[in-house]
Structures are given as structure tokens and as C-alpha cells.
Amino acid sequence: MHLTLSQFNQAYERRFPTCHLIPMFVDSEVLEETESEDGSIHQVQRRCKLDVDAPRLLKRIAGVDYVYFSQENTLNKRERTLHIESHNETFSNRVIIHELCSYSAHPENDDWTCFEQSASLDIKSFFGFESTVEKMAMKQYASSIKKGKEIIEFYLNQLEEEGISHVPRWTPSLDAPFSSSSSVTTKPVCATPTLLQLELPVTPALDADYIKRYLGDLTPLQESCLIRLRQWLQESHKGKIPKDEHILRFLRARDFNMEKAREILCQSLTWRKQHQVDYLLETWTSPQVLNDYYTGGWHHHDKEGRPLYILRLGQMDTKGLVRALGEESLLRHVLSINEEGLRRCEENTKVFGRPISCWTCLVDLEGLNMRHLWRPGVKALLRIIEVVEANYPETLGRLLILRAPRVFPVLWTLVSPFIDENTRKKFLIYAGNDYQGPGGLLDYIDKEVIPDFLGGECMCEVPEGGLVPKSLYRTAEELENEDISLWTETIYQSASVFKGAPHEVVIEIIDASSVITWDFDVCKGDVVFHLYHSKRAPQTPRKDPLVGQHSSITTPGGNNVQLIDKSWTLGLDYSMVESPLTCKEGESVQGSHVTRWPGFYILQWKFHTMPGSASTNLPRVDDVLASLQVSSHKCKVMYYTEVIGSEDFRGSMTSLESSHSGFSQLSHATSSSNHSQSSSMISR
């Protein structure tokens, strides 16, 4: 149910002084109650009496029948937050239990309330029963989490029965003095040395109606994983944050292993950004040969409301399409199909009123023969499978393979190792006309939408295919050039940074009022970012006679270029205009520098060496050759730079800051740029 903070607070207060739904909660008394002058902040301090479910022997040894807790509630009506902090009074010299609960209004929907809960248990000593007390506390805490939601819903229903279905939001009176939320302080949590410490994780909660409507059934652990991963993205990822449904796909693909899911999700987000996949549906136009000969298309939905995609693979001339289009065009087309599938899932979720996060694919293999096993075609298919598996996990709900011929086992042997095990479990394969019998197509697709070419009555607009005319074939050189142009349509460049060999980019500034902007992702390793200014133009590195190559090298991981001459002296030949910024692996950094002087500005990404590491005086190229043998001495960045007018930039930065308010704003200035304006944003 949707729950506003005001409704929750009224329901929560009904738990006191006793609550019949919590048998161990015997009694409570208010020790102190205060309210700010304007009525916006209400604080209550209580002493609660608990009859803990513990063995009688343990209670006798401890010499107590009841346990007492101190609880402090702070309701800030202006900020719309409720903080509850509690700790034990009984045995506080032996055991320290500290719990924090926080309720706040959802930032995007005022009708929802966000909930976070954490607790810590520090056991110094307890008559030799430390392990028993620890297990009891864990059991009790887990039980209270599960029961807490039920209790709140009970009192909310009670409020509704009494005719209280809406509690108006607090508004200050015009003559009331203003009370800043900063005047309310909470007790700090002190770190106490202990013999045994148990930290319980934060357990946020999502609205039950939202989960049911858009996400489906989630266990408390799964819900917690989703919230924590989304929160991590909001704090560390620059750019568009995926919707909960998409984050959930990556979690499900890794069985809700947070670290594994985060790793593949971050890789996918970097890939989407580099190749501008978010704009694919608006920018990609299928070549006419695909419209005529690619035998696939969307066709209504299955019985569960999932979008239905039909692929008549047996009628497709895969060799002709690869020869006419190239591997990259086919891949781009398949990506557009997947993007369209995501869009259709969102639409069907709204239409059917239940979460639909994947689609069904029907593959008709009638006509499949050895021509489809042409090696370049199979290679293209395997690469497409690899890209889709990595970036669209858990989007395939079911794959129906119909009319599989004798040659199919050969194709299946080739491609199945590249398909995730969870995905393979969703495959249903029918030979001949088996799909027409029991357990066949009618179990999954309504009779009214079965395509005509499968004996149904529904006209299917999927092209019938046929052989691609050889006149449309292109030479290998033409395809290679087009493949490069397709996948280099990115404004970002990649660079490698080695220990002893930074990557540097020079920008010449003619107009002193210009603004240099940068945007880069640290894909691997840790780097230090610098910005220098020089009146002299950096010279292209000369050929090193010892190595026989330039210091500007190209590697499979990206370019590496050094421009600052080793004979230059910092402060004399060039100066630092931005203080160094250390950037960790996975971070996104956006920044700007309003230039004061014309000349040459050098952006530098340098390998970050941890303090205490041994330094080296080897020549740069030697360092590069040595570090190439050690993968831990290599970093990789993906960057974009631009020079724009100062006035235009100020307007765009205002917009950028307002739309990315979640990022921390870091401003840096050095003595060499006292009169320049600079700013950078870093996402951790």
C-alpha cells in the first residue's frame, strides 16, 4: 500500500505504551517529550520494558527477568523524516545493542515512504554465553524485521476503519518562528573496542504495491539487494540510472550475488555509453536489404502478456545478409530488436497491470540446411549471442523452437556453449509437427494469434525472406570499412595508462575566455588526473634509437601518448592549473576549466602509485615495455574533451548541476590559477 510519512507516524505511535502484537513488549514510559517552537520537530524519549525470549537458566544466571531499552524518536515535519534510535540499558557494560531506523519521503513520489534499518551488536562478555546471546539477538532481530511491516499495516487498517485515510502534510503557521532542522542533533555512534562484533546490514524497503505492480514477487533479501545496488548506482554512476526492472534482471542473472551483478551491470552501462545504445531506436535506420530479407519481427503477445518475437530462421539467407551487410550491421539490428523488446515490456506492464520483464521468442527452423552453417555466419551468430547475453540478461522468458530438422543438432552443438545455463533452461524444442500436439504451441500462445505459416489464422507481417541477390554483396574491404565506421560512432576515446607512462592530450586555446570540459570513466586501475598550461607547444616525441619506436604507442587496450618533454621543468616550462585529482577504478569524472591565458593546455592521466611504493627512474619507454608485462601496472580510461565558449558553458553547467545533484561537487584551485574558474564532479 502507498504510505505517506504522516500516516506512518500516526500508525507507529499506536504501538505505545504496549502492543498486543508484540508479546515480548511488556510496557513503556515517556521520559521526556519536546517540541520546537514552530511545531516542526517533535522528540520523544521512552524507556521500554521487554520480556526477551531467553532460556530460564540464562535469565537466572543474569539475575534479571526483563530487559530495558532506551528509545529516542525525532519527527521532523519540515524535512519529512522520522529517525528512531534505541540502545539497551540492561547489561550495557557487557553487551551493547544499537539500532537505527530512518523513514523519509520518497524523492520522486510523495505518496511513498522510504525505510532503512540497521543494527549493531557488540558483545564484550556474558558469563560464558556469548555465542548463545549472539544467536538469540540475531533470531530476535530477524523476527522483528519480518513482523514490523505486519504491525504497521494492522494499525493503518485500524486508522482507515476509524475514518482516518489521509493525514494532511504539516505546514508552518505564518507567525511561527522558523526552526532549522540543523538545530536537532542525534547522538553519535562511538566505536567501542570489543571482543566480538556483529554488524547487521542496512535493510531498506520498497512499497509493496510498487513491487507487486512493477517488479513481481521478491523476498526481503532480494528486495534489499535491489535497493542497495540502485543506491550504489545513484552514488557512483554518471548518467542515466537504469530502471529497477533492468537492475533486477542483472541481479537475477547472478542469483542475487551483489558483487557479480554489479560487475556485469557496470560493464554493460559502460558499453551502452560508449556505443550510445540508449539512442539506438532513434538513430538506427535498418538498411533496405534487412527490411526485405531479415525474417524476424514482433507479433502480438503470448498468454502471459509477454511480447512475442517471431524469427523464421530457416527462411533466412544468413550468408547473403552477412555478405551484403557485414557482421556489425547485423549486430546493430539485433540490438535495436532488444531495445524495442525492453520498450514493449514496459508497455505491456501498463496494459496488463502486472510486471512483464521479458519476452517470448518463436523460432521456426523449417528450411534450415547446411547453408546456415556457413562459418562466417555462425561466427556472426556467436558474437551476437555473446553481446546480447552480456547486456540483456533475463530478457528472454521462453524460446520456442519449432520444426527442428536433422541438421539442427549440429547448429545447437556449435552455439549452446555460448548460451547461459539459465537461458538454456527456457528453450522448448519441437521436431516436425510436434508443436501442434499436447504441450505444444497452444499452451503458450492464444489460438487467435498463431501465425498463418504455422497453421493459424493470424496474418503475420514477418518477411518471408529468400536469397539475397549477389548483386547486393559487398567486398571484404567495403564491409571492413563500414564495420569500423559503425562502431566508432562514439564521442569517447580509449587510452591506456602505464606505470611511468601517463597518457596526455593537448588542447590549444586561442581565446583566453574559452572553457575546457572533460568527461572520463576509469575503466581499470586507479589514476591521477592533472591539467597543465604551457606557452610552448609540446613537441611530438622523437624516435628512441634504443627501441626503434615512438613514445606514442598503440596497444590493444587503447592509445598511450606522452607529450610533456622530460627536459621541461614544472613551474618554468609549464605550470599546474588544476590540483591533482585521484580517481578510483569505476569512477566517472566530469569537470571544466575556464581558461585565463591562451596557449597549450595538457590533460594528463597518470598511474596512481600508492604511498610507500618504491619509485623508479627508468626511462619512460623502458617503463612502458616493463609494465606491459605486468597487468597490475596498466590502467584504462575512456575520455571525451571539448572546448566551448565561457558564456554558453555557464548555462549548460547550471543545467547539468541541477540534473545531477546527487553527485558531489568538488572545486579545485591552485596558486597558478587564482583567477581561473574550475569545477569537477566525481562519481564514486
Q: Distance between CA 51 and CA 512 in Å, rounded?
A: 74
Residue 325 lies in a domain: yes
Residue 198 lies in a domain: no
Q: Specify whether 148 is located in the same domain as 30.
A: yes
* Exposure class string for 319-332: b at 16+ Cβ within 10 A, else e: bbbbbbbbbbbbbb
Q: Specify whether 271 is located in the same domain as 283.
A: no
Residue 103 lies in a domain: yes
**Domain end point (choices 425, 440, 471):** 471
- Burial class of residue 483, CB neighbours in 10 A (0-12, 13-18, 19+): middle
Q: Specify whether 378 is located in the same domain as 410.
A: yes
Number of independent structural domains in the chain: 4
Cell of 599: 596557449
The CATH number covering residue 270 comes to 1.10.8.20
Q: Specify whether 558 is located in the same domain as 575.
A: yes
Residue 145 lies in a domain: yes
Residue 674 lies in a domain: no
8 A C-beta contact, residue 639 and residue 531: no
The CATH number covering residue 34 comes to 3.30.530.20
The total of other beta-carbon atoms located within 10 Å of residue 142's CB is: 13
Tell me the residue range of the domain where 306 lies. Answer: 278-471
pTM: 0.51
Residue 486 lies in a domain: no
Separation in Å, CA 475 to CA 171, 240, 271, 382: 72, 39, 29, 22
Q: What pLDDT, in 10s, does the model give residues 141-200?
A: 666 666 666 777 787 788 778 877 666 777 776 555 544 443 443 333 333 333 223 333
Q: Specify whether 535 is located in the same domain as 638.
A: yes
Q: Specify whether 512 is located in the same domain as 583.
A: yes
8 A C-beta contact, residue 599 and residue 535: yes
**Domain end point (choices 253, 275, 297):** 275
8 A C-beta contact, residue 325 and residue 483: no
Q: Specify whether 302 is located in the same domain as 222.
A: no
Q: Specify whether 400 is located in the same domain as 446.
A: yes
**Domain end point (choices 441, 471, 501):** 471
The CATH number covering residue 621 comes to 2.60.120.680
Q: Specify whether 36 is located in the same domain as 81.
A: yes
The CATH number covering residue 293 comes to 3.40.525.10
Residue 170 lies in a domain: no
| pLDDT lower than 70: segments of the chain | 1-8, 53-64, 108, 110-111, 125-149, 165-167, 173-206, 238-239, 476, 479-492, 541-558, 610-632, 645-684
Say if strands 95-105 and 81-88 run parallel, antiparallel, or are unpaired.
Answer: antiparallel
Instruction: Return the pLDDT at 333.
Output: 93
Residue 660 lies in a domain: no
Q: What pLDDT, in 10s, does the model give residues 51-73?
A: 876 665 555 555 667 888 899 99
Instruction: Return the pLDDT at 403.
Output: 92
Q: Distance between CA 250 and CA 242 in Å, rounded?
A: 11
Q: Specify whether 509 is located in the same domain as 635.
A: yes
Q: Specify whether 306 is located in the same domain as 214.
A: no
Name, in order, each residue with C-beta under 8 angstroms of 358's C-beta and a sequence gap of 6 or more: 306, 345, 394, 395, 396, 397
According to DSSP, the residues that pair with 74 across neighbouring strands are 43, 83
Cell of 567: 627536459
According to DSSP, the residues that pair with 201 across neighbouring strands are none
Q: Specify whether 242 is located in the same domain as 386.
A: no
User: What stretches of 295-407 show up as alpha helix (H) in DSSP?
Assistant: 318-325, 327-352, 375-391
Separation in Å, CA 271 to CA 226, 266, 388: 21, 9, 12
